[in-house]
Structure 1
Amino acid sequence: MRMLARKLKFANCVSNEQEGGKIWIFWREEFVVDWVGASNQAIHGIFSKGSSTVIISFVYAKCSALERRLLWQELESIMVSNLPRIVAGNFNIIRNDSERKGGRPRPMVAMDDFNYCIDRCGLIELNAEERKFTWCNGQDGATRSWARLDRTFTNSMAASLFPNMGLRLLAKETSDHCPLLIHFKQPRVSYGPSPFRFQRMWCEHETFMSCLKEAWVDCNQDVALGGLQKLAGKLKRTKLALKVWNKKVFGRVDHIILELQERVEILEESLQEGFSYDVEQDFLVTNIELAEWQKREEIRLSQVAKKRWLREGDNNTKFFHAVIAQHRKNRRLDQMMLENRTQLSSPQQIHMEAVRYFRNFLTEEHVGAVPNLSSLIDDTLTDEEGQYLCAMPIENEVKEAVFVIPMDSSPGPDGFGSSFLSNAGILSKRKWSKLHRISLEEESLIGFTHPLILSSFRRWRNRMVEQGVFVAGRNIVENIILTQELV
């Protein structure tokens, strides 16, 4: 459990395994926790952060009604009237018969015991709007059943202290229960337009290639251009076409997944009313389509997270979300202190200050002598090697240089990375012969010339063993550190 906590970046963990339970709890170091009780069905602790304190009970109830009575007594014994309280988990019982569909009826005595415990503890249920049921037995056809076994309760103090607190029932994936997500709504802060990034998941769509060919082949307005200028025009027009196609045809992946999940819920409700062969087939087809879109979402997240060591096909969506959230957290700039002690506290202020600084930096005349370092540079290359380096790369060299770049690597300023060339298939065998003849003297598309330059470097890198940059297994940072030490 502690090994898992370290992998999930949690500082602390606790469980009720010694009491015969199956509850694992992880929390971060910013919380101060005082555990007040534990049994084989629940763990209770007081969580504190700053001036806020709340007592939380994590519940995993037994299936037996007699054993659950011990849990109800335990919850009633931990009644703290002066603290906000949250009770959440799997209670393995419903409150009334309308909270199930299919299966055997629950004993009325067991439901009464549960409701009596809720009243005695003064708890208010936190309802979720997404789904009515939180558990499904996973059977097929008429034997499938649903029930509301997982829920969250708060007392009146917690409801007053956290007025924006809500409950979301997430989609079932690896478990037959819906995960419970208790959220506290906070306003999202975003600033500026989002940059264009080619998404590998687009290649999985059936209409992607037709959209790409239409934008790529239509080059009548670029007949006067040549070389990299023509290629830059094609990429610019393709970017605009993909933006429109993504908005009108492909759509937001997260929205489509939510729509498919809602459709699955509607079909489940229809099956709960009565079994139908047509509804059952539609239910299975919708689940298959949902799995396809979830795979596309995983491809998108893996591209953003840039974790190349993870194998595709694994259920790593949660991990990708954690990596992306950490990246965004590290890049986020909430405030800035200038040299004159001026405090910038909003994205707009930081933006305007950055524009002002670089405008002055790029327009001011810098006074100072440029040192002559030619005496420190050895003539490593001979004339013959220089000519060999300046020669045009052959077709196979360019192709090898392009495909050696990882598909999840960061793209250039235009938003097109190596995954565009590798997955989109725009460079056929005939196109490669044209690409390798593009002049390297053009500077209109610097971001795209790096495969061509790389193909030239790869020719003679074995001759440059004296240069530490081109030694296999050596990092260029080592040379930088060594230079700093020498200086």
Structure 2
Amino acid sequence: SHHPVFIFLSETKKPNAFVKTICKKLGFEDRFSLVDPQGQGGGLLLLWEPSVSILHIQSTSFYIAIHFQLANSEPQWGIFVYLSTNKSVRISQWADLEAAKTGWGDLWFVSGDWNDLCSNVEKEGGNPRPYGSFLGFNSFIKNMDMEEIKMLGHQFTWCNNRTTEGLVEERLDRAFGSLDWHQAFPNATVLNKATSSSDHSILLVDAGSQKDRKPKRFHFDKRWVGKEGFLEVVSAAWRIPVSGTPFFKLKEKVKNTRTALLIWSSKFHTQNQLIIASLTQKLEDLRAQNIANNWDDWNNTRIDLQKAHHQEELYWNQKVRLNWLKHGDSNSNFFHAYTLQRRRKNAISRLVSSRGEELTSQSAIQSHISDFYSNLFCSEGSWGGDSVLHLIPRSITSDMNTSLMLPVEEEEVKTALFSLPPDKSPGEEGMSAFFYQHL
């Protein structure tokens, strides 16, 4: 069973007086917001739980926007929409949402019936739509700077319920979140559930409140390299005496360096977005005064702001790890969006085990994957493979084998290390190639 915080109904087709009576009978009393239907269609209803603290409500003929706060969380906006089936009206509604977005801040999601598609992939049956008919909706999504929340289950949300020959299914309903919303709720999903009472599916938006995510791994931050004291910290940690085999000594030195960097980095402020906001506000304050009388302060603040933007761009650049995108080619908004998109694409929220069990918790999924690969690479005894191996042609000559058996030289290791892309995924210890290449 599900216990949603909000319940949104579109196309209620009932007058306000009737809907209010139903809401009170269901125990919602004054915990609802509604929009009257227009003619024979339309009508919106939003209900919420007592745990929701309502800060502000806005509504139009096609959406209800609510500024709310839950316990132990930041305030956010939830926008619930029902867009027109008429394209010209829908275009006007897109413009209204783009204008309203400026008042929602950074943390918001929007969900409902969009009555449009992004491509013919989101349509099954009937005649395909021309490519140009999708451009408007896709441009609107881009202009809103929002990402779709990952949908689980059936990919279509509407069905005309006709016979096999005339059956049409489409993905008309979906939920989106701002980039900051996705960052705040990285495990968010939309569950598509079938229902017999409507031609539309029920969408359950789950912000992903489960807290069983694994601890955050250490990752070397390339922004540290230019900071005062960096080389001294690394040098002191590397000189700590360690005994053992060469490989063990190397591993321990890297471990000591990682610990020292964590302690050192905690002493200075690395949240560049807050620094950028503070410096931007300072520039605004100085601009409101006479810049000529505060030129030195103005110029120094402007330089500091450029440095902060530079640091922020470095951070997101190393997280997206795009070989074709060099630092300075774009801005951190792109890096941020790409990182979120890749994180969503790579996320595993559900898995079916070999026994047919559906696993949904992160701990169960991690345990299953670990067990699977542990067993995969374990030998279960010989099955007489020698009779087959002699049929495989030899591809390694004696000279090649001799070359491969030679001791590894220090210069070979250095050449291999310095040929690695600096921002590729680090090893188990969290140190990227960038760290070794800039010592």
What does the per-residue CA deviation read over 1:131-169, in whole Å, with 9 as the maximum and x for residues that have no partner? xxxxxxxxxxxxxxxxxxxxxx94367456665426227
Q: Using a 3 Å threshold, how does the CA distance of structure 1 residues 370 and 268 change in structure 2: closer, same or farther?
A: farther
What does the per-residue CA deviation read over 1:328-354, in whole Å, with 9 as the maximum and x for residues that have no partner? 111212222234332223323323444
* Map of 1:119 onto structure 2: none
What does the per-residue CA deviation read over 1:68-93, in whole Å, with 9 as the maximum and x for residues that have no partner? xxxxxxxxxxx979668xxxxxxxxx
* Contact 1:167–1:181 (Cα < 8 Å) also in 2: no
- Would you tell me which structure has more helix in proportion to its own residues? 1
- Inter-partner Cα distance in structure 2 for 1:212 and 1:386: 39
TM-superposed deviation, 1:312: 2.1
* Contact 2:353–2:368 (Cα < 8 Å) also in 1: no
- Inter-partner Cα distance in structure 1 for 2:253 and 2:264: 16
Equivalent of 1:259, from 265, 272, 275?
A: 275
What does the per-residue CA deviation read over 1:104-131, in whole Å, with 9 as the maximum and x for residues that have no partner? xxxxxxxxxxxxxxxxxxxxxx99xxxx
* Contact 1:197–1:416 (Cα < 8 Å) also in 2: yes
Q: Using a 3 Å threshold, how does the CA distance of structure 1 residues 211 and 270 change in structure 2: closer, same or farther?
A: same
* Map of 1:287 onto structure 2: 302
TM-superposed deviation, 1:193: 0.8
TM-superposed deviation, 1:388: 3.2
Alignment of 1:155 with 2:59, yes or no, is yes
Alignment of 1:234 with 2:138, yes or no, is no
Q: Using a 3 Å threshold, how does the CA distance of structure 1 residues 293 and 391 change in structure 2: closer, same or farther?
A: same
Q: Using a 3 Å threshold, how does the CA distance of structure 1 residues 323 and 378 change in structure 2: closer, same or farther?
A: same
Q: 1:106-125 maps to which residues of 2 (within 5 A)? A: none
TM-superposed deviation, 1:231: 0.8
Equivalent of 1:167, from 98, 104, 117?
A: 104
- Inter-partner Cα distance in structure 2 for 1:328 and 1:362: 26
Q: Using a 3 Å threshold, how does the CA distance of structure 1 residues 235 and 348 change in structure 2: closer, same or farther?
A: same
Q: Which amino acid aligns with 2:380?
A: H
* Map of 1:387 onto structure 2: 402
Alignment of 1:322 with 2:337, yes or no, is yes
* Map of 2:230 onto structure 1: 208
* Map of 1:41 onto structure 2: none
Q: Which amino acid aligns with 2:299?
A: L
* Map of 1:303 onto structure 2: 318
- Inter-partner Cα distance in structure 2 for 1:364 and 1:388: 29
TM-superposed deviation, 1:309: 0.9
Q: Using a 3 Å threshold, how does the CA distance of structure 1 residues 257 and 282 change in structure 2: closer, same or farther?
A: farther
Q: 1:323-362 maps to which residues of 2 (within 5 A)? A: 323-354=338-369, 361=375
Q: Using a 3 Å threshold, how does the CA distance of structure 1 residues 256 and 384 change in structure 2: closer, same or farther?
A: closer
* Contact 2:422–2:433 (Cα < 8 Å) also in 1: yes
TM-superposed deviation, 1:290: 2.3
TM-superposed deviation, 1:362: 8.3
Q: Using a 3 Å threshold, how does the CA distance of structure 1 residues 199 and 348 change in structure 2: closer, same or farther?
A: same
TM-score normalised by the chain length of structure 1: 0.47
Q: Using a 3 Å threshold, how does the CA distance of structure 1 residues 350 and 294 change in structure 2: closer, same or farther?
A: same
- Inter-partner Cα distance in structure 1 for 2:253 and 2:328: 33
- Give SS of 1:415's match: coil
* Map of 1:416 onto structure 2: 431
Q: Using a 3 Å threshold, how does the CA distance of structure 1 residues 278 and 351 change in structure 2: closer, same or farther?
A: farther
Equivalent of 2:422, from 407, 421, 431?
A: 407
Equivalent of 2:219, from 184, 194, 197?
A: 197
Q: Using a 3 Å threshold, how does the CA distance of structure 1 residues 235 and 264 change in structure 2: closer, same or farther?
A: same
- Inter-partner Cα distance in structure 2 for 1:375 and 1:339: 34
- Inter-partner Cα distance in structure 2 for 1:370 and 1:286: 74
Q: Which amino acid aligns with 1:231?
A: L
* Contact 1:336–1:344 (Cα < 8 Å) also in 2: yes
What does the per-residue CA deviation read over 1:402-447, in whole Å, with 9 as the maximum and x for residues that have no partner? 2111112222222223212112x2xxxxxxxxxxxxxxxxxxxxxx
- Inter-partner Cα distance in structure 2 for 1:226 and 1:355: 29
Q: Which runs of 5+ in 1 are unaligned?
A: 1-49, 54-78, 85-125, 128-152, 171-178, 426-487
* Map of 1:44 onto structure 2: none
* Contact 1:215–1:241 (Cα < 8 Å) also in 2: yes
Q: Which amino acid aligns with 2:279?
A: R
Alignment root-mean-square deviation, CA: 3.9
Q: 1:212-227 maps to which residues of 2 (within 5 A)? A: 212-218=234-240, 220=241, 222=242, 224-227=243-246
Alignment of 1:245 with 2:264, yes or no, is yes
Q: Which amino acid aligns with 1:369?
A: W
* Map of 1:369 onto structure 2: 383
- Give SS of 1:401's match: helix
* Contact 2:417–2:433 (Cα < 8 Å) also in 1: yes
Q: Using a 3 Å threshold, how does the CA distance of structure 1 residues 194 and 238 change in structure 2: closer, same or farther?
A: same
- Inter-partner Cα distance in structure 2 for 1:364 and 1:378: 26
Q: Which amino acid aligns with 1:212?
A: V
- Give SS of 2:302's match: helix
* Contact 1:344–1:350 (Cα < 8 Å) also in 2: yes
- Give SS of 1:168's match: coil
- Percent identical across equivalent pairs? 24
Q: Using a 3 Å threshold, how does the CA distance of structure 1 residues 300 and 363 change in structure 2: closer, same or farther?
A: closer
TM-score normalised by the chain length of structure 2: 0.51
TM-superposed deviation, 1:181: 7.2
- Inter-partner Cα distance in structure 2 for 1:381 and 1:367: 26
